[in-house]
Structure formats: structure tokens, C-alpha cells
């Protein structure tokens, strides 16, 4: 499968809200396979959202601690318990930043064939799913940082 270039933080496509998938067809299956190959080739290798490769549709792939898969048109139910941990993004390679997220999520969506999927995740995988679904909404993880921290992060992510 094709490994695709990952868009960086300054690419406007990452600020667009992705469209729901309507057709569970061969093109969608190709996209999921390409996203998976691209994620595995990347530095972080925990998750990737379709907008990060320039595809404005609601598809994410994930792989962490033996759990891997994909979600089409995901919706998240977040726990109230929150934890702070370092987070990174393939669109800002090499940068890790502390961020507070829900400790547990239940993600509901569909697989590439249109069948319902539910993923319950704790800790890092919960963080990965939240991060990737944010990409579908045009939200970068730096948007969750306080203003001063966001400025420091962006100065490191977008030198020049």
C-alpha cells in the first residue's frame, strides 16, 4: 500500500472539518490501508487521521499496545477522569508536549465495510483516539494548550 506524505501543522487542510463518509466502497478500503501503511512508517506510529494525508473525510487508524484498527465516522464518549501526559503529532514531528485529556474513552463508529465498531480505551490509546478525532474536527492538539504554552509549542513546531 502507498505511504503518503503527512501534512504539517501549517497546512490549512488540518484546520478543515472532515466530511462524514457516505460510501463504504473500494476507495474507502484503499484509504484505510494507505493510512495504516503511512502510520506504521511514521515516527510515532500510534494513530493517523485522513486529513493528515490531505483526505477531508472522517477516518482514523490507530495502533498501540497490541490494539490496532480503524474507525469511520467516529464519535467519542469521554470519561470525566482526566490525566496529563506528553503528546505528539505526526504533523509536528519530534515534538512532545504535556496535555490534559480524558483517561478513558468509548469510541463508536463503523469499519471500512460499514459494520458497527465500538472501541473502549484507557490511557495512551484513549489519548490517541481523542487526538485523531480532533484532527477530523480541524483541531490541533496545540489548540488545547494555554496561550503561553501554545505560543512556545508553535514556535518550536513552525520555526521561521
Catalytic residue set: 132
140 alpha-carbon distance from chain centroid: 9
Q: 45 — alpha (psi -120 to 50), left (phi > 0) or beta?
A: left
110 marked as binding residue: no
Q: Is 144 marked as a binding-site residue? A: no
Taking CA atoms, 44 is separated from 13, 20, 87, 91, 95, in Å, by 21, 26, 10, 10, 10
| Whether the Cβ atoms of residue 59 and residue 72 lie closer than 8 Å to each other | yes
Which contiguous run of DSSP H or E holds residue 96?
A: strand 92-102
- Whether residue 135 is annotated as binding a ligand: the answer is yes
Please state, in angstroms and rounded to a whole number, the distance separating the CA atoms of residues 107 and 1.
26
Which DSSP category does 25 fall into? S
Residues contributing to the annotated binding site for Fe cation: 89, 131, 135
Amino acid at each position: 500500500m502507498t505511504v503518503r506524505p503527512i501534512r504539517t501543522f501549517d497546512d490549512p487542510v488540518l484546520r478543515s472539518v472532515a466530511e462524514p463518509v457516505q460510501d463504504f466502497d473500494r476507495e474507502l478500503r484503499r484509504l484505510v490501508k494507505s493510512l495504516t501503511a503511512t502510520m506504521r512508517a511514521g515516527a510515532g506510529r500510534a494513530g493517523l487521521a485522513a486529513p493528515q494525508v490531505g483526505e477531508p473525510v472522517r477516518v482514523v487508524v490507530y495502533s498501540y499496545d497490541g490494539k490496532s484498527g480503524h474507525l469511520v465516522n467516529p464519535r467519542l464518549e469521554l470519561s470525566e477522569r482526566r490525566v496529563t501526559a506528553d503528546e505528539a503529532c505526526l504533523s509536528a514531528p519530534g515534538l512532545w508536549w504535556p496535555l490534559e485529556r480524558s483517561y478513558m474513552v468509548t469510541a463508536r463508529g463503523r469499519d471500512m465495510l460499514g459494520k458497527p465498531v465500538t472501541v473502549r480505551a484507557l490511557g495512551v490509546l484513549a489519548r490517541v483516539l481523542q487526538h485523531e478525532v480532533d484532527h477530523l474536527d480541524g483541531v490541533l492538539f496545540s489548540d488545547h494548550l494555554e496561550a503561553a504554552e501554545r505560543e512556545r509549542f508553535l514556535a518550536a513546531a513552525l520555526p521561521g
